[in-house]
Structure 1
């Protein structure tokens, strides 16, 4: 199932696609996963299983790093955990509402899953999660595929994220470099409002470490709107921090479209950017606030479908099959 989820992003509200309902009904027609000897089923998309909140760490004024633990009976087997990118639905028991969130490293052998979640003023489930204390029981169902990774389908994967929209890409990169499954080049352009709003330290350290160890395979650039930040940061500020938004120049560079033109040539001939070949094996993935998605790739369609390609990527000549809005 390749359905676009508005998943743990800075949209100001928590939303999921209308196709979620169709997918849910289709899943309900499938048989439930076989229960264990104790009668508890493993994590599955058809119905909810309980997990325990084992760690809750404040990472900024409105974000938390939450770690949930499944019981031994609910841990998916090795062959049951999907390839990235996938999410699980979390249910707010108080008002019976569910929203999807991306486990950063998937599910580990002990059944633990970590989530970086932002609290919104009108986000019911995120506010509910932020209020939970260690030891609380939280119900999950999934996994739900949000984008299908294929080991050898692309030569270039460019990821553009804003705020907590980085989580699907972190999951992808963690999988790729943990499994040594990278056959192409990957680039991540990430934007936060200030250095204080950057992802938690362990996420930044992992991304920087793979960029340093695999410079031919992975590039990582960080952008902030402002350098204003508290004096004490929990996240180390990267050396390549750019105080600007992710714009046309950064995307040209990520797409390897920039060409060096002698200054004197610009006096006689207008400069142009090479077009992206339609048959080039590349994909641009974007996940973040709607204003970012609109500017980079054009707005979503109805009910958060992919919609028409627009924005900077359309200006640069990309085609709809080369862009995916998560």
Structure 2
């Protein structure tokens, strides 16, 4: 018996009971009616609660299966996670590029959780290639993680050792940063990832904002989320990416190439394998680092302005990297702005250090 049909079955049995019994026996019908109704309500409540608890939420952990895992090199790897129960809420349509968000994964042996940035990508079964989720689709809640196995990163090392098919616990979304939300603004298309045609610049209701992002290592996932999600960043992004080598990105690299080809990002890569001197790499970042532009709020869109006018800088990477560019975070708070960005004229009003 399917649970959703239960209330109708109860009513049908009660009708047969009342029509086929004597008046004396029918005196007890209120008890059975109340009991049946209570059971029906309980079943309905249970089903709603079970469905609610299976949806990704920051209030509880939801089981996800490792549906794909691939090592890019000796330390970097990709992991696709699929929920055991299909998700009704499309997080990519809900969050869009206005919200930079993460999920948490629990290591059950030591009860430790770590935050990771999901990407709107899935692995195509036939080809094994990474594909972008189209608008309006979430593939039942599938998402991709770009991870690195650190020496002291207990959760990442644990994840790297798990086989495909293993079930882990995930909670979220946790919003790390919110960009200005423009009501009734048109969404930016992502056709460049599906047919590679060059299209004329889109027209929006309001003037888009440009931002600068400084990322290192797997911190680039934060930039990719904003650029790949449904209704991606409408302005342009200056993306500075520090890494050992660009090949650490593996199959994520073509997405950056496509974004650069279509003028959505101005990409600068700083590889320690090519320039081992850290001071010289920081100098190279300084040379391409822009000065801030003033945020003018809701300004009607007239035409695409020339040049690049960043009103916000986001920094994401290891602690030492963040400290060099924007000053250290203090006790999980933002702390004062220092480093290269301060000397370029940036301040707490327009710089944010991501986790």
**TM-score, reference length from structure 1:** 0.70
Deviations 1:267-326 (A, max 9, x none): xxxxxxxxx45557610001011121111111112x221100000111111121111100
Q: Distance in 1 between matches of 2:267 and 2:92?
A: 31
Tell me whether 1:118 sits opposite 2:148 in the alignment: yes
What's the secondary structure of 2:260's corresponding residue? Answer: helix
Q: Determine which of 244, 256, 259 is the counterpart of 1:207.
A: 256
Q: Determine which of 45, 48, 53 is the counterpart of 2:61.
A: 48
Greater relative contact order structure (CA < 8 Å, 6+ sep): 1
Q: Which residue does 1:63 correspond to in 2?
A: 76
Q: Which residue does 1:30 correspond to in 2?
A: none
2:87 and 2:140 in contact (8 A); partners too: no
Q: Which residue does 2:244 correspond to in 1?
A: 193
What's the secondary structure of 1:35's corresponding residue? Answer: helix
Q: Which residue does 1:99 correspond to in 2?
A: 114
What's the secondary structure of 2:249's corresponding residue? Answer: coil
Q: Determine which of 215, 219, 223 is the counterpart of 1:161.
A: 215
What's the secondary structure of 1:116's corresponding residue? Answer: strand
1:53 and 1:136 in contact (8 A); partners too: yes
Q: Which runs of 5+ in 2 are unaligned?
A: 1-46, 122-132, 183-206, 297-309
Kindly state the Cα deviation for residue 78 of structure 1 after the two structures are TM-superposed: 5.8
Q: Distance in 2 between matches of 1:161 and 1:142?
A: 23
2:213 and 2:314 in contact (8 A); partners too: yes
CA root-mean-square deviation? 2.9
Q: Which residue does 1:220 correspond to in 2?
A: 267
What's the secondary structure of 2:177's corresponding residue? Answer: coil
1:293 and 1:325 in contact (8 A); partners too: yes
Q: Distance in 2 between matches of 1:101 and 1:172?
A: 14
1:36 and 1:42 in contact (8 A); partners too: no
1:298 and 1:310 in contact (8 A); partners too: yes
2:113 and 2:155 in contact (8 A); partners too: yes
Question: Could you say if the C-alpha distance between residues 314 and 63 of structure 1 is closer, same or farther in structure 2, counting changes exceeding 3 Å?
Answer: same
Q: Which residue does 1:322 correspond to in 2?
A: 350
Q: Distance in 1 between matches of 2:88 and 2:256?
A: 27
What's the secondary structure of 2:218's corresponding residue? Answer: helix
Deviations 1:57-92 (A, max 9, x none): 011111110111013344524688423311111011
Question: Could you say if the C-alpha distance between residues 249 and 278 of structure 1 is closer, same or farther in structure 2, counting changes exceeding 3 Å?
Answer: farther
What's the secondary structure of 1:87's corresponding residue? Answer: strand
Q: Distance in 2 between matches of 1:148 and 1:308?
A: 20
**TM-score, reference length from structure 2:** 0.64
Deviations 1:97-128 (A, max 9, x none): 11111112278323211111111222221111
Correspondence list, 1:1-326, <5 A: 35-36=49-50, 40-77=53-90, 81-83=94-96, 84-105=99-120, 108-150=138-180, 155-175=209-229, 178-179=230-231, 181-196=232-247, 198-201=248-251, 203-213=252-262, 215=263, 217-227=264-274, 246-255=281-290, 276=292, 282-301=311-330, 303-326=331-354
Kindly state the Cα deviation for residue 249 of structure 1 after the two structures are TM-superposed: 5.0
Question: Could you say if the C-alpha distance between residues 246 and 169 of structure 1 is closer, same or farther in structure 2, counting changes exceeding 3 Å?
Answer: farther
Q: Which runs of 5+ in 1 are unaligned?
A: 1-32, 229-242, 258-275
Q: Distance in 1 between matches of 2:226 and 2:144?
A: 14
Greater share of helix: 2
Q: Distance in 2 between matches of 1:316 and 1:193?
A: 26
